[in-house]
Amino acid sequence: MTEILLSATGLTKTFGDFTAVDGIDVQVTKGESFGFLGPNGAGKSSTMKMVAATSPPSGGELRIFGLDPVTDGAAVRARLGSVPQQDNLDEEITVEENLHVYGRYFGLPRKVIRERTEELLDFAQLTGRRKDMVEPLSGGMKRRLTIARSLINNPEVLLLDEPTTGLDPQARHVLWDRLFRLKRRGVTLIVTTHYMEEAEQLCDRLVVMDHGRIVAEGSPRELIREHATREVLELRLQLEEPADHTTAAHLVEGIGSHVEALPDRLLLYTDQGDDALDAVLARDLHPISSIVRRSTLEDVFLHLTGRTLVD
């Protein structure tokens, strides 16, 4: 039995004349790790705030745990954890006080708050910093504390808006590990990101969003299979100024299944990157550099929108 925890139909968010979320349909089932992948301004945070029951939809239907977040906001929030894009910790109090305050906000008994605080400090690797003020902590520590705090009510669903943006690779991997553990414990994760690697690491299934709309949906592997090839040959050619690679695609026409031209390079989509490179060299093109790599969600996004995810 798959239990649907989040269901959105034609979900819309407008700000004045501007439509930030333009009629999206999404379903997330219990235990899933679900992602919204999209560039800046795609409407990811606007969607998350509606799901978190902190911003009312402008149109469409939204149900969380079968409840309407507008009329049953408190009941929805009690069962959710929410990590907003910007940390909103109380910086003037200590690490553990931040957890206590949140526990009291949810009306949890003191004993429960004390027990969960110990677990969550450990989970966030902040036990040694429990008595420290939040303000001087590093960005990674603050992010871990925000996630720990969002877990104080033992949520069934954890919403994470750009969980690792601004963190260095090591801090990012620590956070991914923490999120994997939560998932193993049965917590449903709903994540937004504009990092394709994060989406590939964390998400069982995701939607690609652009300009408030969903442009594709599937598992990372399905999306790559559907919208890209197995491999990509990235080429940088010696071009006469002022030409850049956006006008150079014709040079490699017919090699591979399709070409994307970015200002600084050509991307040749093919199942055999090395063979494609041989074909390029046979045309007497002398690339300054060439690499063959596997296709990623970045390629899926480029193929669907003609733009890169992170610019």
Ligand X SMILES: Nc1ncnc2c1ncn2[C@@H]1O[C@H](COP(=O)(O)OP(=O)(O)OP(=O)(O)O)[C@@H](O)[C@H]1O
Q: Which residues bind ligand X (CB under 6 A)?
A: 15, 18, 20, 38, 40-46, 85, 194
Reduced to 3 states (helix: H, G, I; strand: E, B; else coil), residue 83 is strand
CB of 225 to Mg ion, least distance (A): 28
**Cβ–Cβ contacts within 10 Å for residue 190, how many?**
25
164 sits near Mg ion (criterion: CB under 5 A): no
Positions in 57-86 near Mg ion (CB under 5 A): 85
229 sits near Mg ion (criterion: CB under 5 A): no
Q: Give which of ligand X, Mg ion, none residue 43 binds (C-beta under 5 to 8 Å, depending on kind).
A: ligand X
Positions in 22-51 near Mg ion (CB under 5 A): 44-45
Pick between residue 43 and residue 140 the one whose CB is nearest to Mg ion: 43
| Rounded Cα gap, residues 89 and 76, in angstroms | 21
Q: Give which of Mg ion, ligand X, none residue 46 binds (C-beta under 5 to 8 Å, depending on kind).
A: ligand X
User: Is the four-CA dihedral 107, 112, 114, 120 of positive or negative sign?
Assistant: negative
CB of 96 to Mg ion, least distance (A): 29
Q: Give which of ligand X, Mg ion, none residue 265 binds (C-beta under 5 to 8 Å, depending on kind).
A: none
Reduced to 3 states (helix: H, G, I; strand: E, B; else coil), residue 244 is coil
Whose tokens are 């009690």? That residue is 78
Peptide bond into 242 cis (omega under 30): yes
Let me know if 63 is exposed, middle or buried by CB neighbors in 10 A (0-12, 13-18, 19+). Answer: middle
290 sits near Mg ion (criterion: CB under 5 A): no
Pick between residue 46 and residue 153 the one whose CB is nearest to Mg ion: 46
Pick between residue 41 and residue 66 the one whose CB is nearest to ligand X: 41
| Rounded Cα gap, residues 297 and 302, in angstroms | 9
**Cβ–Cβ contacts within 10 Å for residue 173, how many?**
13
Pick between residue 57 and residue 256 the one whose CB is nearest to ligand X: 57
C-beta nearest to Mg ion: residue: 45
Where on the chain is the footprint of Mg ion (CB under 5 A)? 44-45, 85
